[in-house]
Amino acid sequence: MQHDLMRTCVLAVTAGVLCSVFGMTFAGLRDAASQVPITDDVDDPAVWGQLYPLYYELYKKSVDMQRTKHGGSEAVPRTPTGTDPRTMVSRSKVEEDVGLRTMWQGYPFAVDFREERGHAYMLEDQTFTMRQQAAPQPGACLNCHASIYVAFKKAGEGNIMRGFEKINQMPFAEARKLVQHPVACIDCHDANLTLRVTRPAFIEGMRAYKASQGIQNYDVNSQATRQEMRAFVCGQCHVEYYFQGAEKRLVFPWSKGLKVEEIQAYYDEIRFRDWTHKDTGAATLKAQHPEFELWSQGIHARAGVTCADCHMPKISQNLTASDHWVRSPLHNVENACLGCHQQREPNLTAQEMKGRVEQIQDRHWNLRQHAMTALLALIADLKQAKDAGRSDAELVAARYLQRRAQFYLDFVEAENSTGFHAPQEAARILAESLNYARQGQLAVRDPSFRPTIDIFDFPPSPTAAPAPTPPR
């Protein structure tokens, strides 16, 4: 009966009709909690779905693939093989842009890197990416690609932190056996549906970040506001990260701040490198999906607008239910943007709003191309100098400038909004990247050239210098 009401509700919503029974139904469903055993140990979203069918239906829709001009995702058919049963994947970015291959030369990303797609695919895409064959991956990868909260609890005998530490260092295949679902209800909610952060790396990363702001011993789950939690649950995964030490501890490098130069300074201080660039010998860093960090520098964050406001808006302007179909807001501009923006501009249309986003993204892409051209030119110059037998000592500055130009470009390249989350900040980062790449070229050509930034000396062989203890 309740289920039927809920279904009617969904249909009514689809038809754009006010569904006043919704609140009542929702309350009624919660009352039925005693019949469905949802505890802190249930990771299967289908079980939660018996109690919250509307949310489960919306959640499952993330299997849909639909492109936008610069984002969304697109289904590319593939023939399954013995090692990879997927019949559909998303577009390959390294095949579309050889520049990416060159900038990641010698690192598994040069082998396989695709457009991201919906949450439903996170576990299989990680399991079957060719990066798994290119290098052995640790259990730590699973932090952001599975419903892993219950597995942490089990492995740590009730202690999440211990479970985290155990699973991080397992080989991927072994850890993979401990999880079954992509991100699920229990990863963002407790059994009473209160939002919570379940990931140790975010808890620790935020504590380190707050300490840099003068706030000691910050505890995200007891101290964050509800509005902050609407971004923090996403920041558990949509962030820059690295694996620290032999324990492969997942760490978010935020103890100096969330801005690109602060993260760069963190990595420089501990002399961290993800890999050594094959063509040039530079000690390079790979940035990954810093949505949370870039968003934090934009006008929306400044105005208190969070990830959930745009990516999980109300399912219609009359309904308070949050849309659990997490996707590109450009497929959903009415609900995601206009509710807010029409308050100031009543005649603003979805088409116009989309146009504004695409204009920002087009400009961003243009600048990104210039930064890429400059980085590729530096890589080419360095390679030539190295092949011509120039000494390591002569190439220190240019290699460090490559490291820097690469990380800055990658920071916005790996960020998935094509500049939208913080347009001016993204433009600043690209301009800095371009500046570093061109200075690197000057440094190759003219030994007397003095770069405008401090140069860190990284030995071309990764084993030559022991890393100092990282800041925490």
Residues 88 to 127 in contact with ligand HEC, rule: CB under 6 A: 113-114, 116-119, 121-122, 125-126
Question: Shortest gap between Cβ of 382 and ligand HEC (angstroms)?
Answer: 26
Q: Which residues of 30-50 are buried (b: 16+ CB within 10 A; e: fewer)?
A: eeeeeeeebeeebbebebbbe
Q: Token pair for residue 347? A: 């005649």
Instruction: Specify the DSSP class assigned to residue 224.
Output: S
For ligand HEC, the binding residues in 439-458 under the rule CB under 6 A are none
CB neighbourhood size of 318 (10 A):
14
Interacting positions 36-75 with ligand HEC (CB under 6 A): 45, 48-49, 52, 55-56, 59, 68, 70-73
Interface with ligand HEC: number of residues (CB under 6 A): 87
Distance CA 247, CA 244 (A): 7
Using alpha carbons only, what angle is made at residue 19 by residues 16 and 22, rounded to the nearest 5 degrees?
Answer: 135
Residues in the chain: 472
Residue 32 binds ligand HEC (CB under 6 A):
no
Q: Could you say which of 107, 241, 325, 458 contacts ligand HEC (CB under 6 A)?
A: 241
Q: Which stretch binds ligand HEC (CB under 6 A): 183-191, 211-219, 274-282, 455-463?
A: 183-191
- Phi and psi torsions of 86, nearest 5°: -70, 135
Residue closer to ligand HEC, measured from CB, 311 or 404: 311
Q: Per CB under 6 A, which of residues 255..294 are in contact with ligand HEC?
A: 289, 291-292
Shortest distance, CB of residue 190 to ligand HEC, whole angstroms? 11
Residues 288-317 that bind ligand HEC (CB under 6 A): 289, 291-292, 295, 299-300, 303, 305-312
Cβ distance to ligand HEC smaller for residue 250 or 378: 250
Identity at 229, one-letter amino acid code: M
**CB of residue 69 to ligand HEC, shortest distance in Å:** 7
Structure tokens at 29: 């469903």
d(CA 53, CA 67): 27
Of 102, 297, 328, 406, the residue at the interface with ligand HEC (CB under 6 A) is 328
Of 43 and 432, the one with the shorter C-beta distance to ligand HEC is 43
Q: How far is the CB of 112 from ligand HEC (least distance, A)?
A: 6
Per CB under 6 A, the segment of 14-22, 338-346, 390-398, 442-450 that binds ligand HEC is 338-346
Q: Which amino acid is at 228?
A: E
DSSP class per residue in 132-179: HHHS--BGGGGGGTS--HHHHHHHTTT-HHHHHHHHHTSBHHHHHTT-
Applying CB under 6 A, the span of 7-15, 155-163, 213-221, 351-359 interacting with ligand HEC comes to 351-359
Torsion angles phi and psi, residue 225, rounded to 5: -75, 165
329 binds ligand HEC (CB under 6 A): yes
**Calpha distance 8→266 (Å, rounded):** 53
**Which CB sits closer to ligand HEC, 237 or 401?**
237
**Of the listed pieces 155-163, 177-185, 450-458, 459-467, which binds ligand HEC according to CB under 6 A?**
177-185
CB of 258 to ligand HEC, least distance (A): 11
Among 178, 336, 405, 430, binds ligand HEC (CB under 6 A): 336
Site for ligand HEC in 355-394 (CB under 6 A): 356-357
Closest approach of ligand HEC to the CB of residue 198, in Å: 9
Q: How far is the CB of 249 from ligand HEC (least distance, A)?
A: 11
Smallest gap from residue 378 Cβ to ligand HEC (A): 24
Q: Does 248 bind ligand HEC (CB under 6 A)?
A: no
Selection from 210, 201, 271 nearest residue 241 by Cα:
201
Q: Token pair of 58, please?
A: 């919306």
Which CB atom, from 257 or from 329, has the smaller least distance to ligand HEC? 329
Cα 423 to the center of its chain, rounded Å: 17
Interaction residues for ligand HEC, span 407-446 (CB under 6 A) = 414, 416-418, 420-421, 423
Q: What is the CA radius of gyration of the chain?
A: 23
- Rounded to 5 degrees, φ, ψ at 388 are -80, 0
Contact 95, 118 (CB under 8 A): no
Closest to 32 measured CA to CA, from 13, 49, 15, 51: 51
For the CB of residue 50, give the shortest distance to ligand HEC in the complex, in Å.
Answer: 10
CB of 165 to ligand HEC, least distance (A): 15
Q: Is 149 in the site for ligand HEC (CB under 6 A)?
A: no
All residues at 6 or more sequence positions from 324 whose CB lies less than 8 Å from its CB, including other chains? 55, 56, 58, 59, 312
* Rounded Cα–Cα distance for residues 66 and 330 (Å): 10
When the beta carbons of 10 and 444 are compared against ligand HEC, the nearer one is: 10
141 interacts with ligand HEC by CB under 6 A = yes
Q: Is residue 220 a contact point for ligand HEC (CB under 6 A)?
A: no
Give the 3-state DSSP-derived string for 280-343, with helices as H, strands as E and coil as C. CCCEECCCCCCHHHHHCCCHHHHCCCCHHHHHCCEEECCEEEECCCCCCHHHCHHHHHHHHHCC
